[in-house]
A and B are shown apart, each in its own frame.
Chain A
Amino acid sequence: MVSAGERVVLGVEGLSVGTARTPLLHDVSFSIERGERVGLIGESGSGKSLTALAVMGLLPEGLSATGDVRLSGRSPARRNLLGVGEREMARLRGDSMSMVFQEPMTALNPTMRVGDQVAEVMLLHRTQPSRAAVRRRVVELLERVDLPDPANLARSYPHELSGGQRQRVVLAIALANDPALLICDEPTTALDVTVQATVLDLVVRGVQERDAAMLFITHDLGVVATVCERVLVMYGGRIVEAGPVREVFTDPRHRYTQGLVAASDLTGAEGRREHAALPTIPGSVPPAGAFPDGCVFRSRCTHATEVCATLPPWTPRGEHPAGAAAYGYSCFHPAGGRGEGDD
């Protein structure tokens, strides 16, 4: 039998990221088990990409991270990735963990045939026994992401492909070495809705086939609910709520989640156009460094009281195999939950 701990692929504890002057992420903790698909949502500037980049060891110059990040890929998680150095991180990226970004061109080399780019990641990490095996695998991978005539398409350059086709190539590269962890940062935001549907399907199939763990970043609640089982809600560089998608979206506790869900839903009862007005969240997301202390949401929260000037503790909401951080919220006056909240 596999114990809970052994199933954890990614464990993040107390991750903080910032510039010398401005803290950007605060005390971020979560873990993802094998085969689990976890969404990370929040509005622009909430810290989603920084979380992903910190895990991948790809933080831009000038930002530093503290805390503990462990990955159990081909070997068990003995070391904190924040301390292993760039050489070791380069060995892990594209192998035990890989990432798909919003804009496929940032991940592709414009002067190199796409087939060679898929081959490169396998040659680099020596995951195939021979060059012939690599060539066969390239065609197979391109075929698995539903690209037409893969043997031929492998010889194209990125600019000869459509946006959706490029993103499929990027996905093929990300999956080439059967990573234990796949991170997707808004992989379909730049795509048309019909293309998005097929790419989402491929992403889910790709991780399911490998029993991989996935962290999926988006600000589209419909997309998370479609793709993920569990969700982390981020605002102001903190995870303010977490839990199974259904519970968090139908019965949110944190006032930010509540506002976000209400404002997003254009087709539900309150979103119908005969209705007076859509529910909104007052104000807008502050720039980095301008979030209030205590509860990060307090400058926009209509339920805020004096106590909200102190940091709300994490309140676990129920048992979850991935631990207390997987299901709970940090709010002094939570919504929902019959009786406990104030409405």
Chain B
Amino acid sequence: MTDAAVELRRVSREFRRRRTSLLTPAPVVHAVRDVTATIARGERFGIVGESGSGKSTLLRLVCGLDRPTAGEVVVDGRPVHDQPPRRLGWLRERLQLVFQDPMSSLDPRMRVRDIVAEPLVAQGRHAGKRERVAELLERVGLSADAADRYPHQFSGGQRQRISVARALAPGPDILVADEPVSALDVSVRAQVLNLIDEVVDGFDLTLIFVSHDLSVVRHVCDRVAVMQRGEFVEVAPTEQLFSAPEHPYTRSLLAAVPDLQQALAGRSAQDLAAGVDTEG
């Protein structure tokens, strides 16, 4: 085994849009461009960027849900980028995903027990399923009787706990989260961030955490990549990135965040806008 949990080597993903005219070639969207990074075992790696910058596309490549048009994706020392889904069974055991919208990622017709057990069943691990589900629900702060209920009977925050329980079921060592708290109320967001913190610590997980919210990423991650138009324009340890951003785009992002403390100290909307590079 290597020390790297995930290696991205010059990864690109292009999408071809539908042709709008017979005379011009179909436009190409460079969703991910030439991304290289090594995510160490046990690291909490954040990816921030604005809408459409390519965050979700990159995560799909890491999870083997999509294939890059160029470059290599290596997880736990094994290639993911050139494998068909049926050869990626091992990846489902090592790496699990939590999505933004717990309502659309949880099947409304399934009971919570079956949702949480789903990754186990997919791997043919039926023995001790019931006990495992009970243990996981407890771990994420849900009562055991939650197992018999359906997703719509839970609040947004509780549904996100169910997603986390499901992700933990196969005992992965990498947790990938795509905007896991963006749809939640602030009071519940704090609960879910604490839960993620607990399980990442408790199970020694490597975390890849995507968000458009810089303060959330700052709170959660050790190291952060800033993504713009498909590229990693800056990658740095969290505190360094926030205290001494190097790339102009990072600076412009940081300058635009309305922060409570700074606002109370007199930072106005005009000040926020002044720090933004206006071209987009």
The answer to whether A and B belong to the same complex is yes
Given contacts A192-B50, A259-B187, A278-B190, contact A197 B155 (CB under 8 A): no
Chain B's closest residue to A272 (CB) is B219
Indicate whether A284 sits within 8 Å of B156 (C-beta atoms), given known contacts A197-B272, A250-B264, A263-B187.
yes
Chain B residue nearest to A265 (CB atoms) is B260
The smallest C-beta distance from A289 to any residue of chain B, in angstroms, reads: 15
Q: A278 and B194: CB pair below 8 A?
A: yes
Which residues in chain B, 147-161, are within 8 Å of chain A measured between CB atoms?
155-158
Residue of B nearest to A195 (CB): B280
B225 interface contact, C-beta 8 A: no
Chain A nearest CB from B55 CB (Å) reads 12
Closest residue of chain B to A162 (Cβ to Cβ) is B280
Query: Once the chains are docked, how many angstroms separate the CA of A40 from the CA of B197?
Result: 31
Q: Categorize the interface residue count of chain A.
A: 35 or more
Interface range on chain B: under 10, 10 to 19, 20 to 34, or 35 or more?
Answer: 35 or more
The B contact surface, by secondary structure, is helix
* CB of B146, distance to nearest CB on chain A (Å): 14
Q: Is A201 positioned at the interface, with any CB of B under 8 Å from its CB?
A: yes
Contact B269 A280 (CB under 8 A): no
* CB of B252 within 8 Å of the partner chain: yes
* Residues 169-221 of B at the A interface (beta carbon under 8 Å): 185-191, 193-194, 197-198, 212, 214-216, 218-220
Question: Is there contact, CB below 8 Å, between A43 and B185?
Answer: yes
Instruction: Assess whether B20 is interfacial by the CB under 8 Å rule.
Output: no
Q: Interface stretch among A63-71, A74-82, A216-224?
A: A216-224
A35 at the interface (CB under 8 A from B): no
Per the bound structure, the CA–CA distance linking A201 and B261 in Å amounts to 18
Do residues B193 and A278 form an inter-chain contact, with CB atoms below 8 A?
Answer: yes
A150 contacts chain B at the CB level, 8 A cutoff: no
The answer to whether B190 and A279 have CB atoms under 8 Å apart is: yes
User: B249 to chain A: closest CB distance in Å?
Assistant: 9
5 shortest interchain CB distances as A-B pairs: A225-B263, A201-B273, A281-B187, A222-B258, A197-B256
Query: What are 6 contact pairs spanning A and B, CB under 8 A?
Result: A192-B212, A225-B264, A260-B186, A263-B186, A265-B261, A284-B185
